[in-house]
Structure 1
C-alpha cells in the first residue's frame, strides 16, 4: 500500500497539470500499475492531491460558449413551440420542425435573428448540448403541482401488485392509468381532473378531462379510453387512488374482462410511463392552473384532441430495450431509435384495417393543418 501511495502521488502531480487526453492516458497507466478500477484510481488521485494541498491551487478554465446568443434564443423558441420535449426528442425532429417554422414565419420575436449561420448552429446541436443550453430556461418554469392521490385501503389486498422491477407486459392491450388534478394551489373544492391512459409498449397515449373523481364522472372517461384506444384494451394498471380502487371501477373491469394490477403506495416509478405523460403532456399544455366547470372542461378536451394528434403522430419517443456496461463498469440503459407511437403501432402489425385507415386520416389532417 505504501508503494501504491507513492506511485499515486507521482501520477497526481502529473495529472494536475495534464490536459484531458493526457489525464486519460495517466489514468490508464495507474490502473495497469496498481490493478485498481478507473473510478478507484481517480478517487485515489483526488485524495493524494487533497493531502498535498494541491486541490485548492487548481483553477479550471471554463470552456468558451460554442454557440451564439442568437442560436440560443432560436433554440428556446423552437423548444417552446415543439411542446418542450427533451433534447433527445428535439434533436430527432429539429431539421423538419425548424424548417417549417422558418418557412411559415412562426418564430415570432426571434425571427429577425434567423440567419444561415444561426440555422447551421442550431442544426448541429446534439441532444446533450440542447439539454445543457436549455437547462436554465427549463428551471424557470412553474413549480411542481400538488398531488391528489391518497392511498386507498379498500380492495388493495385483492388486486395483484406490479412493481417497476417486474418490467412492462408484452401485451399490446396493456394500459397504465392515472389522473392529474387541475387544482391550482389548493385541493379544496371541486375542480377538474384529467384521466391519462398510456400504452407503455408503443407509447400511444389518450387524455380525457372529467368533472371530478366520482365514479359517475370517471366511468365515462374510462369508457372513452376503452372505445378510442387503437388496440383492444385487455389489462390496466393504476396507482392506489380512490378514483380507481373502488368496487364500481373493478366491476367495470370485470364486465369488460380486463386484468387489473396496481402499483405500490408512494412508489411512482411503478407507473413510470403514465407519470411521465402526466408531466410532458398534461402539465406542459394545461400548466398548473385551476380549472372548473363544464366550459373549461370542454376547452381542455378540445386541447387534448390536438395534443394527442400531434404527440402520437408527429413526435418521436424512445423505448428501453436493455442494459449495457460503461467503461467504468456501471450499468447504463440502452434505448432504441426514436419513433412516433403511430409508427410503432404500424410496425407491430397489431391494428386492423379499419383502425389503420382512421389513424391515417388523422395523420393527414395534422400534416394539412401544419402546412396550411
Structure 2
C-alpha cells in the first residue's frame, strides 16, 4: 500500500499526524508510528524523523526588502525645489507645478536664481519644469510643517436689516465676469474672545480668485467700513457685488448704504451655513491663518505690522499662486457624482483672460508682475511674521496657560453624585 502512495501524499499524511505526535505520550507515539509506517511504507526510524521535523514550527517566510526606487531627479533639483517652494509660500504640488515656470522666470529676472550658483543650472530648471504634482509633493514631504494652534469664530448674528438682503446659497451660480466678491472677518483673538483685538477683513473674487486683505483695530462699523473702502479701492477692476455672512459688522446701515452709493450688489449667506461661503472660508485659512497665525494681536504695533504684511501676501497669491475653479459635475465609474475643475491658473491670468480690462490696464498688470520679486516678498514676509510672533507669542501662550489652569480648577470644584 505504501508503495502506491506518491511522495506528496506521504508528506500530507505526515503533516496530519505530526501535531498529535508532538503532544502525545510515549505509548501513544508508538501507536501513531505504527499507523504512519503502515500507511506510508516508511521504516520506523524514517517515520519518526519525519514526524519530528513536521511538528517543528516552520520559520515564517521573510520577503526580501523592496529595493527603493531610484531617484528620477537629481539632488540639486530637490534642493532648488525646496527653495522655490519656500519662496512661493509653501504651495501644494498641484499649484506649484502649474506656477513653476512663472516663479523660475521671476527669480531669474531678479537674480535670485543664477545658473552655476547654489546648485541651479539649465539642467536643474528642466528637471523642475518636468516634475509632476505628485512628485513635487513627495520630494517636499520632509520640508512640510503644521501650525499647532487653532482659532475661534467671532461671527455674531446681526438683528438689523437681514430680511431686506438677498440670501445667497451654496448652489447659486456666480456671474461669468469678475467683480463679485465674498467677504469675511477673521479674529486675531488667540485662545479667547474677551477684550479688544485686531480683525482682518478678507475679500476674494469668486470668478478670478483675486484677494485683498485689510486689518482693523476691532469690528466696529466705521472700522470695517474703512477696511472695505480701502479694499475696493485696491482691486484693479470694478467690484460689482459683495456677499457676507450674517455678522453685525457687515449687516448694518453704514455698510449697506455705502454699497448702495457705489452701486455694489449686496447679498448675504444663510445663517450657520458655512458652505454658502466656501471660497472665502478657504481663503481665511490659507491666507489669514497661514500667514498671520493664531496669535493674539491687540496692540497698535501689531495692527501696523499686519497691514504691512497683507499687501505682500496678496501680491504673492494674486500674481504667483494658481487656483482651481469648479466647472461642473460628472459621474465616476462607480456612479458617484464628482466635481470637475479647470486647470490651475493664477488670479492675474484669469483676470487677463476675462477680457474686462483695457489694453492699458492689462499692460500695467503685466508690468507689475514683472517687477515683483518672489524672493523679496518671502524675505519681507518672514521678517514681518517674526516681528508679529515676537510681539504676541509669549502673551498668547501665557493667556492660553491661564485659561487651561482656570478650566482645571473649575473641574476640580465640581461635585459628583455618587452612584446608588
1:305 to 291, 311, 331: 311
SS in 1 for 2:266: strand
- Trace 1:245-264 onto structure 2 (pairs within 5 A): 245-264=251-270
Q: Select 1:235's aligned residue among 229, 238, 241.
A: 241
Shift of 1:129: 4.1
How far did 1:162 drift? 1.0
Question: CA shift at 1:270, angstroms?
Answer: 1.0
Q: Deviations over 1:79-110 (max 9, x none)?
A: 3331122221012123554687799678xxxx
User: Who is 1:200 aligned against?
Assistant: 206
Corresponding position of 1:364:
370
What is the CA deviation profile of residues 308-328 of structure 1, one whole-angstrom value per residue up to 9, with x for unaligned ones? Answer: 222212222222222222223
Counterpart position of 1:165: 171
Query: Comparing 295-304 with 200-209, which one deviates more in the overlay?
Result: 295-304
Unaligned runs of 5+ in 2: 1-62, 378-420
- TM-score, with length taken from structure 2: 0.63
Structure 2 residue 86 is the aligned partner of structure 1 residue 80: yes
Specify which of 93, 96, 114 is matched with residue 90 of structure 1.
96
Match of 2:274 in 1: 268
Structure 2 residue 294 is the aligned partner of structure 1 residue 288: yes
- 8 A contact 2:106–2:372 mirrored in 1: no
Q: What's the offset of the Cα at 1:337?
A: 2.1
Distance 1:348 1:99 in 2: 24
After superposition, residues 7-46 of structure 1 pair within 5 angstroms as: none
C-alpha spacing 1:96/1:224, structure 2 compared with 1 (3 Å)? closer
Q: Confirm or deny: 8 A CA contact 1:85 1:280 kept in the other structure.
A: no
Task: Check whether the contact 1:83–1:284 (CA below 8 A) recurs between aligned residues.
Answer: no
Cα distance in 1 between the residues matched to 2:125 and 2:372: 25
Structure 1's unaligned 5+ residue stretches are 1-58
SS at match of 1:154: coil
State the TM-score, normalized to the length of structure 1: 0.71
Q: Aligned partners of 2:190, 2:83: CA distance in 1, in Å?
A: 26
Q: Secondary structure at the match of 2:168?
A: coil
| Correspondence list, 1:206-225, <5 A | 206-225=212-231
Higher mean alpha-carbon deviation, 112-121 vs 184-193, is at 112-121
Structure whose CA Rg is larger:
2
Q: 5 Å matches for 1:329-348?
A: 329-348=335-354
CA contact (8 A) 2:98 2:345 kept: no
Give yes or no for contact 2:189–2:296 (8 Å, CA) kept in 1.
yes
**Aligned length, in residue pairs:** 311
CA distance in 2, matches of 1:100, 1:227: 27
Separation (CA, whole Å) in 2 of partners of 1:355 and 1:319: 24
1:150 lines up with 2:156 in the alignment = yes
Distance in 1 separating the partners of 2:121 and 2:368: 34
Distance 1:139 1:308, change over 3 A: closer
Structure 2 partner of 1:141: 147
Measure, in 1, the Cα distance between the counterparts of 2:337 and 2:357. Answer: 36
1:212 is displaced (CA, Å) by 0.8
Alpha carbons of structure 1 residues 337 and 295: separation in structure 2 relative to 1, 3 Å: same
Shift of 1:305: 1.5
In the superposition, relative to structure 1, how do residues 274 and 285 fare at CA in structure 2: closer, same or farther (>3 Å)? same
Q: Distance in 1 between matches of 2:67 and 2:276?
A: 40
